[in-house]
Amino acid sequence: MLKIEVLRTNNNSVKASPYKGIGTLLVKHAVEESIKKGFGGKLSAYAINLTENRQVTPTLFYEQLGFQFFKEELNKLMRAFRLGYEQELPEQLRAGDMFLSEENAKKTFGFVVKW
Q: Is residue 115, in this structure, part of any structural domain at all?
A: no
Q: Is the pLDDT of residue 13 over 80?
A: no
The 10s digit of each residue's pLDDT in 51-61 is 666 666 889 88
Domain count, the chain: 1
For 40, 76, 90, 108, the CA distances from 48, given in Å and listed in that order, are 25, 19, 14, 22
Going edge to edge, which strands form the sheet with 2-4? 2-4, 43-48, 95-100, 68-69
Residue in 7, 19, 5, 94 with CA at minimum distance from that of residue 49: 94
Please compute the mean of the pLDDT values over residues 38-66 and round it to a whole number.
Answer: 84
Q: How many distinct helices (H) and strands (E) make up the chain?
A: 4, 4
Q: Is residue 114, in this structure, part of any structural domain at all?
A: no
Q: What is the pLDDT of residue 113?
A: 46
Q: Is residue 65, in this structure, part of any structural domain at all?
A: yes
Which of 10-19, 60-69, 104-113 shows the lowest per-residue confidence on average (mean pLDDT)? Answer: 10-19
From the centroid of its chain, how far is CA 19? 17
Parent domain of 81: 2-109
Please compute the mean of the pLDDT values over residues 19-48 and round it to a whole number.
Answer: 89
Residue 14's pLDDT band, with cuts at 50, 70 and 90, is low
